[in-house]
Amino acid sequence: MAIPAPSPQLHVAMKADHVMVAELKADKPSVNIPDEPKNPVPDGNTAAKINPIMPSPDAQVRGWEKSELCRACHGEKGNSIEPLIPKLAGQYSKYISKQIHDFKTDERTHQIMSVVAMTVSENDVDDIAAYFASQPKMNSSGQGNPVGESIFLNGNSTTTLAPCIYCHGKNGKGLTPNSSTFPVIGGQHKEYIRKQLKDFRGKIRNNSPGRIMNTITKSLTDDEIEALADYISKQ
């Protein structure tokens, strides 16, 4: 699908794990946004050979064994019930690993997760992330939100807000699977999305690379945040 490039010039150049995530310039008439990446269903050890982005089956099994405490809150397959506890189902493994490390180092803080993360050994972090990443992607359903959809697809040229789709992909289902930078957000709990956007805007949360999310959210109004959270949560 073709998404009109915003004006004035937008140039987002961020690297995660030596992969260029986005470099978008307004002098381009349009930007082609590919469909969300497809991960094959694991079939023995061939999964990692077919798609190196998909965690190996061995890592998935180890992750299930090591994630008992995580699953108690985030759900058996990463689909939590509590709206302020994020779904992890199908989330990128490197993004999950980064968040655990950030909680361990106080780059990101939470009264529960900061404590829990300290109980996770370095050897276990990637296996736990692999388990949740291997699950079917989080999803939801419901009527769309036209205002939120417009912001997600087109941004806001008046406030130079970049479209969310540039980094989070079609329907928020992700664009850069081998990256720790931009997560899957489509189908996430509305309440959780709302809180994270407000925390980024209020500089309560500051752990996005280069604090890009603090920059992006600073121009968002409460009404825009509500519309975005509503739209994204229904994808």
pLDDT in tens, 90-139: 999 999 999 999 999 999 999 999 999 999 998 899 999 999 999 999 98
d(C-alpha 82, C-alpha 84), whole Å: 6
CATH topology of domain 139-233: Cytochrome Bc1 Complex; Chain D, domain 2 (1.10.760)
Residue 156, number of CB atoms within 10 A of its CB:
16
Q: Kindly report the CA angle at 118 between 196 and 177, in degrees rounded to 5?
A: 50
CATH topology of domain 55-133: Cytochrome Bc1 Complex; Chain D, domain 2 (1.10.760)
Q: Where in the chain is the domain with CATH 1.10.760.10?
A: 55-133, 139-233
pLDDT digits (tens, 9 = 90+) for 53-70: 566 778 888 999 999 999
Give the rounded distance of the alpha carbon of 25 from its chain centre.
23
> What is the chain's Cα-based Rg?
17
d(C-alpha 209, C-alpha 58), whole Å: 30
